[in-house]
Structures are given as C-alpha cells and as structure tokens.
Structure 1
Amino acid sequence: MTLFDLTGKNALVTGASSGLGRHFAHVLSGAGARIAIAARRTERLERLQSEIEAQGGRALPIELDVRDAASVRSAVGCAETELGPIHLLINNAGVADSKPVLELAEEDWDRVVDTNLKGAWLVAQETARHMVRLGHGGNIVNIASILGLRGTGQVAGYCAAKAGLLNLTRAMAAELARHDIRVNALAPGYVVTDINRDFLESEAGEALLRRVPQRRFAELGDLDGPLLLLASDASRYMTGTVVAVDGGQSAIV
C-alpha cells in the first residue's frame, strides 16, 4: 500500500549493528527509505551497508555512542550532510544487564539507564532540533519494551529505563506536535534473536513461554508491520502512542 511506502524518506536507525536495529534497517530500506545506520561497532555497519546496497538500497554507516552528546550531534549532522533532511528516527540503541537487584552495581545501573533512556533522549532531542530547524516535520519511533509496561526480576535498570522511555515518548509527542513531529513507541515482547535463542529454548524460557497467550515468542518478522505502521504515513494521526507487539503478554496480569 502507498501509505506504507517510504520512498524519498531519509531515516536514522541507532543500534543498527545487530539484533532489532539491523533488521529494522533492512525493513525500512525495503520500503524505499535511505538509511543512516549508526552504532559503536562500525565494522558490523559496513557489512550491513554492503547487504543493503546489494539489494539496491542506500545505507550510510555512522559511528555513534548514544551516551555522548557530542557523538550524537556529529552523527545527526553527518546523516543530514550525506543523505539530506532526516524524516524518520528509529531510536533503537539499548543494552541490558541481568543481575539480582541486590547485586546490581552503580556502574551497571548507569550503563543501562544512560544507554536506554538518556541516550534515547539525546538522539531524539538532537534529531527533533534538526527537524524543527529545517521545518519539514518528522517522525520519531522509540523502541521500548513490554518491560516498560510491566516489571520482572533480574533487570531492574532495564525495566526502569524502558518505563521512562515510554513516558518520554508521551511528553515529547505532546510538545513536538506543533512542529508536525510525531513521537510513538514500539514495545516488543520477547523476540527470538541469536543473542537470546539459547535462553528462550531453555527450561526457564519454556516457563516464560507459558505466560504468553499466543504460546510462542516473536520472530523478527512479526515486528515488520507494526514498525512500518509507525514509520510511515499510515500512522499520520498517531502520536504519543505505545504499540505493544507481544503475543498478548501485556494484556494479562
């Protein structure tokens, strides 16, 4: 459908070197967008660039540490210079640290919260400034988690940061609407990736699966439709919205 077409749009995807970010870059490119792919691990970005361009797309690798305001300003400036106005931000960079709350060190907390919340704010703020300065409006999609909607053990910092990101999404949406900038959040449930596959197939993963009403974990492709909805004009009257993609897990206690 034309509503989901991103032809002529320039997108910035953070955390693009692996996992969801890498997949999202492919999806957006397939929908016609030119992509600035940003992360700390540039060698992985170069491989992703080759894959996208082999399929006829355009990808620009950019080194980015979302926790560093100077790095964020440089990355957004580079994307604008090389691709043109940024129409879309997929604010995806994130980390997790699995430890009991009584064993969580201050530096562990800071790394998770600084990446998942402060870093997301820095990138969203700088990209929004760019959109306001050029006057073309835009679209910000924050990649949150259902753990921002409900808590669980062993990942206190992650839960806190993602909950903060959801309310940051709402606050920015209310404030930036006057500039024709939409801000929404995608909140995935448990998605099977190379990093967590072994855990999700373990006994603990099987116990977790029993709490998912659809009785399966998500595959990366399950996020494609919701991502394109939020990224495109199909959601042009949506802002401040949280879209959960979790097989019904957030619908139950």
Structure 2
Amino acid sequence: MMSILTVNHLNIIDTKTNKVIVKDASFTVEQQTCLGIVGESGSGKSMTVREIMGVNPRWIRSEGEVLFENRNLLEDNDKRRRSIRGKKISMILQDAMTAFNPIEKIGAQMNQTFVQLLKVPKRKAERLSLESLEMMNFQEPRTVYGSYPHELSGGMLQRCMIAIALVMKPDVIIADEPTTALDSINQLEVVKQFRSLKELTGTTMILISHDLGVVQRLADNVIVMKDGEIVEQGVTSTVFNDPKHAYTQYLVNTRLQLTNSFNDSLLSGVKAKP
C-alpha cells in the first residue's frame, strides 16, 4: 500500500520556553487507511497534527520533514500551506461549536466554504450542502441547513463538519478528539459517520483520541505517544492485543478495567431487576 503522508524526525519546540514538545517523531500514513494517535493529555498528539496542518502558534518552531505530494510542508510559505488546508488536508476539530460562526446559519457557512474552495456557483453550493446533510442521515436536513450553531447539539454539529468533508473530498482528514465532548450515544453515531465517510470517499484519516475504544473501532494502525515521544506503533489489533511498551500496557489495562467495571454495573443492574 502506498503512503500518502510521511513524517520524518519531527521536532516541535516552544520558542518561548525552549521546551521540546514533540521529539523525533517518525511515522507513515498509508492511503485509504485510518491512523490512530493515542496518548494522555500533554503527550504531543494534537500538536503533531496541528503542525501537519500548519496551524500551530507562531512561537512554535519545527524541524524535520512532513512529506506530502513530494514536498516538505514545513518548508512551504503561509500561502501555500493555506492552499492545501480544507481542500487537500481537512481537520475536524474537537469542539465543533468553535468551527462555526455563531451568528451565521449552518447552510450559509457550508455554501460559503464550497463557493470559496471548490469555485462552484452559489446555487450548486446550496445543492451540495443539502445533499451532504441528507447523506449524514439528518431527518430534516433543511431544518439543520437553516439553523444557527447554538440550535444544534454537539453531535449534530460534528455531523455537519463531516458533511462538509464529504463534499470537499480531501486526501487526508484529521479528526482531533472528535468524540470527547459527546455522550456515549452521540459518540457511537459519530464513529458510524466517520466509518461511512471513509467508505464513501476512500479518504485517508488520522484520528487523535485518548479513547482506545473509538480508535479500536476506526483505526487500521496506531501510534502511542507519551511526553512528546512515540513509544509504540503498529497494526491496531496487534498493539492493543499484545502491547510491548509499559505505557501502552497501562493504557490498555486501564481501558479494560473501565470496560469490565461498566459491564459489571450493567449486569448488577440487570440482576437487581425483579
């Protein structure tokens, strides 16, 4: 399988404190697969993907290579980086509410995105918006289209963001903690939508999450990060079923303990019923 994006010896430094946030990270993302990046808060996973997108603050400096379309993105100027954002590499943010302008309706914002980035007429942009909302299984896509962001739930806004990505058909979609702010029912729904997005478009995905269950459902390969370093990587099932690094073992065991205690509480609830 061909690689679509390769990261070589990436170092990310905070120039204000001289702290190395990510140290010597190297990995490959293969075409039409999903790469999961897991680790606790502060492990460097979000900073890594934001450097790929070129959206880290200006005082963040990076060294190494991020190879995409036969060029090192880290050497590109701002204009060239902006030209690939959204169109070639798209990012679905952790807090969907911050991705939308609170005083503009969802449909208007979707239309604007498609007119600007796809260079289509406004009427076609409207049609694309409604069609993509239908594909996201909204029961009333026109109502969603005419709603303001605050009128929709976090899960619905996530699905609107996925709908935009569905139309843009980027080569790579980066999802940064897409299920963190959602309850378990909405989490399951978003996981299903990501899976259908991957199947419908054949896009490549990078999924950042501290939730091993979500990563297990979606990712073909996984990277485990701790304190800015990659401590383990490989096929998801292999890494989770036979973790080699002590930190990965800790993450997997913690996940199993949570799952078992949840199942136990469900069973005890069932037993308690008359």
Q: Fold conserved (TM > 0.5)? A: no
Give the TM-score taking structure 2 as reference length.
0.34
* TM-score, normalised with respect to structure 1: 0.36
Higher strand share: 2
> Which structure carries more relative contact order (alpha carbon 8 Å, separation 6+)?
2
Larger Rg: 2
